[in-house]
Amino acid sequence: MYDFVVVGAGPAGSRFSRRAAERRYDVLTLERGTVGEPLACSGHVSTDIWEFAPDGARAELLQNEVYGARFHVGGPGSDDYPFYKREVVSNVIDRVGLDRLLAEAAREAGADLREDHSVTAVDEKRDRVEVTASTPDGTETFEARMVAGCDGPVSRVRSELGLPDPGEKLQGVLAFAEDDDPGDYVDVHLTAPRFFAWRIPRGEAGVEYGLAAPPGSEPSAKALFEEFTAGYDVETVDFCAGMIPVGPAETVTGRRGFLLGDAAAQTKPFTGGGILYGMTAADHAAREIDPERPSTLRDYEDAWRDDLSTEIRLGHWIRRAYSLPESVQHAGLSAFSGEIGVHMDKPTSFFSKEHLRKLLSGS
């Protein structure tokens, strides 16, 4: 019997697998396809990513360094409001490569990571959990003391455990243009209903264009995306789409199971990004959960919420600004644009001494 069966080998799943294996737990990790495929997430991340990645990852994965963002109330060609730092704010990385490096680190730590294993059922028993997966050779059932659902926004584990869905899901779409662009700024357009569209320079790797909107919106997210990229007069390739969960439910733990990452909606409400939040929660899970003591699931629940709930709550307030009247958006962006002291993963940094000092010096 395994200590943990981890379902999903994205950043949160691989991070937890690695940390749990380093603690000498017997870990089986199941990935439904090939690690990193298909791509369904942006590669724009804070520089904190390297604290979670294996040694040498930066040299292998880095595509561009970003110093700030230009915010637009309208589409391409509209006036912009720059927000910037004098040092690097964020990095653009090879997103598929990140997943593969994190998965390999989990394997090296001792996790048994198997690709092409699609989980079809999860059954919580009194003393164990049974996880059934479709494999290249048929169907196989694995027993473990606990199961970790790290299988994305449409989580099979969440459904099988009867855990509540995230508060909201957005439809995200993205694609790439092949232009060489080493630009210092990302562009953010407050044009999508209740969210935004983006343009991210990726150096020699091209340019990423993306957009997210509520599912069922009219026009659709894909139609909005086509209108957005037409405004930039570009042809894109490698179009992909996926759901973005926003707002964790009141619980992400069951009797012998728990959720991590997008499955738990451990994401930033104001950007939809969840790589850092998911891996932060994974570290809490590996530290707090004893697979032989189901009561420790409560310790995990408390730990990750103590760490991230304030950031998530403030992130919801930031997102509300996306739906303000355009005149108010113009006024607010004009008032606050310029040099900043904000961390892209931490809304609480808006109230930091560094940021307040930047605001006052620019006034």
List pLDDT tens digits, range 240-288.
999 999 999 999 999 999 999 999 999 999 999 999 999 999 999 999 9
Place 358 in a pLDDT band, splitting at 50, 70 and 90.
low
Range(s) within the chain of domains with CATH label 3.50.50.60: 1-37+95-167+249-320
Is pLDDT of 363 > 60?
no
Place 80 in a pLDDT band, splitting at 50, 70 and 90.
very high
Looking at residues 28-33, what average pLDDT do you find? 97
Which class for 109: exposed (0-12), middle (13-18), buried (19 or more C-beta within 10 A)? Answer: middle
Fold of 44-93+168-246+324-363: D-Amino Acid Oxidase; Chain A, domain 2 (3.30.9)
CATH class as words, domain 1-37+95-167+249-320? alpha beta
d(CA 30, CA 9): 7
This prediction's pTM? 0.95
Range(s) within the chain of domains with CATH label 3.30.9: 44-93+168-246+324-363
pLDDT for position 349: 85
